[in-house]
Amino acid sequence: MLNAVLFYFFAVLAVASAILMVTRRNIIHGAVFLITTLLATAGIFLQLQAEFLFVVQIILYVGGIMVLFVFVIMLVDLDLSLHLVQFNRQRFVAGALALVLAAQVLGAFWVSRSSIGPGPAAVVAPQNTEAVGQALFGRYMLPFEIASILLLVAMIGAVVMGKRRI
């Protein structure tokens, strides 16, 4: 029962914040609503008993990436875009495409409706962080190293792009 309450609370919060984010005129308000969406997503992770991902989501996504977004939004002139049209010319075609995509996915759900019920009671590793750590440094060592090189490249790229005179 508590599971269902938590899930619906975080799910409604996530969807509402996402809709608000996409429709705000003031980008900083949009960023704040994206922050609440990400926090609600972290709550869903916790409800799925993925505690390490819950903390990683908050530290990296909300505490890192969104801070970056907020800084850049502050450096970009806000007033310039507050009074202009917010949605572009292709919005109706885009809406139609999104509806087609939604219909496809819902169709996939409908076809497989018998197998998306309650699944087998999967065993949850009691120490989630240990299991993630062992897998990350065991089976997934190569992707881990590649990810670190990717981050190095991104760091260099961001520093170069941010300079005023290269």
Partner 1 sequence: MAHFLASSTFRQLVLPILYGVVIVAVLPLAAGYIVLLERKVMADMQARLGPMRVGPHGLLQPIADALKLLLKEDIIPQNADRFLFWLAPVASVGMALLAYAALPFGPAFQVADLNVGLLFILAVSSLGIYGIVLGGWASNSHYSLLGALRSAAQLVSYETAAGLGLVSALVWAGSLSMNSIVQAQYDHGVWFIFYAPVGFFIYMVGSIAETNRAPFDLPEAESELVAGYMTEYSGFRWALYFLAEYANMIVVAGIATTLFLGGWLRPFAGFRDHFPGTSIELLDIFPTLLFLAAAAFCFRLVPRQPVKVQKHVMAGIGGLGVVTAAVMFAALFAPPAVMAGIHGAFWFLVKVGAYIYVFLWFRFTFPRYRFDQLMRLGWRFLIPLALVNVIGAAVAIALSEQWGLPPSVSVIITLAATIAVAMWLAADGDKPAAATARAADGD
Partner 2 sequence: MLPIGNYLFLSFTLFTIGVIGVLTRRNVIVMLMSIELILNAVNINLIAFSRYWGGVDGQIFAIFVITDAAAEAAVGLGIILAFFRNRDTVLADEMDLLKW
Q: Which does 117 bind (CB under 5 to 8 A by kind): partner 1, partner 2, none?
A: partner 2
Q: What is the DSSP string of 91-117?
A: HHHHHHHHHHHHHHHHHHHHHTTTSSS
Binding of residue 126 to partner 2 (CB under 8 A):
no
Owner of token pair 């409604």: 12
Stretch that binds partner 1, among 58-66, 80-88, 107-115, 148-156 (CB under 8 A): 58-66
Residues in region 114-153 near partner 1 by CB under 8 A: 127-129
Token digits for 14? 């996530």
Binding partner 1 (rule: CB under 8 A), the pick from 74, 76, 94, 154 is 74
Do 18 and 40 touch, CB atoms closer than 8 A?
no
> Cβ closer to partner 1: 100 or 156?
156
Binding of residue 63 to partner 1 (CB under 8 A):
yes
Binding of residue 114 to partner 2 (CB under 8 A):
no
Owner of token pair 């993630």: 132
Binding of residue 105 to partner 2 (CB under 8 A):
yes
Q: How far apart are CA 42 and CA 45, in angstroms?
A: 5
Q: For residue 124, what are the contacts with CB-CB under 8 A and spacing of at least 6?
A: 49
Q: How far apart are CA 81 and CA 71, in angstroms?
A: 17
Q: Which does 121 bind (CB under 5 to 8 A by kind): partner 1, partner 2, none?
A: partner 2
> Cβ closer to partner 1: 11 or 70?
70
Do 44 and 121 touch, CB atoms closer than 8 A?
no
Q: How far apart are CA 50 and CA 57, in angstroms?
A: 11
Binding of residue 54 to partner 1 (CB under 8 A):
yes
> Cβ closer to partner 1: 11 or 30?
30
Residues lying near partner 1 in the complex (CB under 8 A) are found at 26, 28-29, 32, 35, 51-52, 54-55, 58-59, 62-63, 67, 70-71, 74, 127-129
